[in-house]
Structures are given as C-alpha cells and as structure tokens.
Amino acid sequence: MPTSATDQYFDKVFAYDGSSTYTDITLEMQSPAGTSSTVLADTNDILYLGDADRFDMAIFDVDTVGSLGALIWEYYNGSTWVVFTPLSATYYTDPDDSPDTAYAFSKDGAEQFPAGRMSDWATVAVNSATKYWVRCTSTTSVSTAPSLRSIKKRALAAYCSTQDVFNLLQLKNVSTTDGSGSDFTASTVPSKATVEQYIETAQSHIEFVTRKSWRPNFVHEEYHEFNLNGFALDKAQGFKIFDLKVWSGASWDSKTQGRKNDYFFVPDTNMIQFSRYFLLPARFTSYNAPVWRWGGGEFTMPVKISYIYGKDIATDSREGGIAFDMARKLAAIEVLRDSDFGNLAVSGMDRVSMSEKINGWSEEVEDRMDSLRSFETF
C-alpha cells in the first residue's frame, strides 16, 4: 500500500509569533477532535506548513472564524522566500455575489497552491525542520484571530510516492554505487521532481478513465437547480461541504449545514437534502410570486455549493490498493521510457526486455482501469 506520501496531514505545522517564537502545533493539526490552535493573531504572525514531499492543497477545519486583513503566501526557492498567488484568488467571481479573494480563514475551506509553477521550490530548515514549506503571513492588523481544529494536505504524488516507484523498479543499485539508495533524489536521473510529475500524470489518467478519484479535490461553486427533495453533487464521493448558497431574488444567501438547520449531506447517496426547517426566501412563499420563478429567468440554477470530493486511497480497502498499483506502474513505465537503465529490466529472479516489461505493465493497468470504470449521467 502507499507510503508516507499519502498521509492526510502535514509533517510539521508551526505558528510563529512575528518576533522570535515558534509554536509546534503539528499534533493539534493532526487531531480534529483534539484541542484547536489559534494562528495569525497579530501583524507579522506566520503559519508554516511543511512536508517531506511537495503538495498542492491545504484543507482547513476552522473552529473560531477569523477576521483578518491582508495575507501573503510564500514558498522557498532555494535562496529566498517568493510570494505567490494562491489559486483561490483566481476563481470565477459571480457578479451578483461578494468578490472572491484568497482564502482568509473565515470558514472551513481549502487553499490550492500552484505547485506546477513553483518549479524551483526547494527544501529549507524552519525551526530545525527541513521540509518543503509554504507560509502564510498576516501583514495588517487582525480583528479576530482564527483557531483551527486540523489542517490536511494533498500531496502532489497522492496515489503513490516516488519511493514506491523506486522500489518497484528495484533501482537500489542504480542510484548509488554502494547499493544503499532508497528513493529518487534531486541528483538522480530522473530526479525526484520529475518522477512526481510522472505520478501526477498517472493520477490524472486514472481519474479520467475511471471517473473516480482517490485524492481530495476542491469544487468551487457548482450550480444546481433548486429542489426541496434535494439534489446529487455532480462529483461522486463527496465528503465535506464548505458552503451552500441560495439566490433569494436579491442576493446569494448562505445556508447553515445540519439536520436541524437548513440542509445536510448524505455521503451514502452523495445527496444534499434540505431539512424541514429550511425556509424558502420570502419572495417564493408569497402568493404573488409566479411559480415559474423557481427554475426560470434569473432563478435558473439558483443554488451553488462548494465542497471536497474523492476517496482516501489509504483507507479504501476495496479499490485503493488497485489505484495505488496502477499509479506506480504507470509512473514506472515513464521512468523506463525516458531514462537509460539499459535494455533489461528486473522481473523477479529473471531479467526481461524493457519493451516486454512496459507492454506487460501497460496491459495490466488498462485491464484494471476497465474494472474500476464508472459511468457519469449527463
């Protein structure tokens, strides 16, 4: 099964007080049911997120909602910290809703990092921990400091690790002269970063063919028609709802999750259900409001929802192991194609031709993807 690359949580999380003190809140951020931690409480306070492997998403479970000023996000490029624009600041902005800005800890949510454009991302020691780091700094005064229950990550190589590919190819004697190698590195050919790209490509291919995902994916403002009997999310395997809004005729009104509130989510059916306590906007309960207003004119697609979907590859006992094996073999095929390891590849006690190994793995992966394929209804 997958190695540490598929862990849900960051290796290290530090809260820096803006002057000299680092507080290690790693254990708190790995325990959603435990004690929450306050972060970014004042100007120049910093939240550090670090991991041994590169990552492209952080998922925040907020306990106390924050009211922050300006935030900047940075990564380390080998010599200095570089400011980057998180993907939440680039989302489509509904002209009838409040403008979208970068995630600001005002609710549960996810921040995505443009790791593909951070090609020079390098490890650095922060508080004696050498990791790949991103950091978020509060640059203005803070009205209310947020407290967090947990922070999860999405690794770039989420289905398997570079070490899994290395071990599959039995490259111990290739990477080092003394046979002590255990993983690709920045100096191997291919490099660790290149193999991560192979794994990313493999993940996308598996998801495209099977219409399933074994990593967390963020959906920003998916639109639906209103139905008091509920509706199904477009993406299967939803597991965390961040926000649901309904168009009232004048504005987008946020609704509260919970069976005793406005709506709730049923994972088994992937359905959003409206509770009996849900109140229709006054405009729709009036006898003067034409029936066609629901689902017509400005009330076309009057519901929008943001959420996370995708299975956990490490805990999916039915299909997770298959997805893991497909990803490492697809990535290994690219390593064999693009790197010169000679014409023979290891296969148990024997050695087979490179082309035979590639063809065998390719056929095996395609057969397995067919068995996992699901169908979407349009």
pLDDT confidence band for 170 (50 / 70 / 90): confident
13-32 per-position pLDDT tens digit: 999 999 889 999 999 999 88
- Bridge partners (DSSP) of residue 13 are 49
Which CATH architecture describes the domain 4-155? Sandwich (2.60)
Give the integer Cα–Cα distance in Å for 84 and 81: 10
State residue 222 phi and psi, 5-degree precision: -85, 130
Domain ranges of the chain: 4-155, 162-214+313-372, 217-303
> Cβ distance 76 to 133 under 8 Å?
yes
227-251 per-position pLDDT tens digit: 888 999 999 899 899 999 999 888 8
271-315 per-position pLDDT tens digit: 999 987 676 665 555 444 444 445 567 788 899 999 999 999 988
258: left (phi over 0), alpha (psi -120 to 50) or beta: left
83-110 per-position pLDDT tens digit: 999 988 777 778 888 766 678 898 899 9
Give the integer Cα–Cα distance in Å for 156 and 197: 8
Tokens of 218: 């963020």
Residue type, 347: S
pTM above 0.75, yes or no: yes
Label residues 41-51 b or e (16+ Cβ within 10 Å = b).
beeebbbbbbb
3-state secondary structure the chain: CCCHHHCCECCEEEEECCCCCEEECHHHHCCCCCCCEECCCCCCCEEEEEECCCEEEEEEEEEECCECCCEEEEEECCCCEEEECCHHHHCCCCCCCCCCCCCCCCCCEEEECCHHHCCCCCEEEECCEEEEEEEEEECCCCCECCEEEEEEEEECCCCCCHHHHHHHCCCHHHHCCCCCCCCCCCCCCCCHHHHHHHHHHHHHHHHHHHCCCCCCEEEEEEEECCCCCCEECCCCCEEEEEEEEEECCCCEEECCECCCCCEEEECCCCEEEECCCCCCCHHHHCCCCCHHHCCCHHHCCCEEEEEEECCCCCCCCCCHHHHHHHHHHHHHHHHHHHCCCCCEEEECCEEEEHHHHHHHHHHHHHHHHHHHCCCCCC
Overall size of the chain counted in residues:
378
pLDDT of the residue at 313:
92
pLDDT average, residue stretch 319-333: 94
Give me the chain's average pLDDT, please. 86
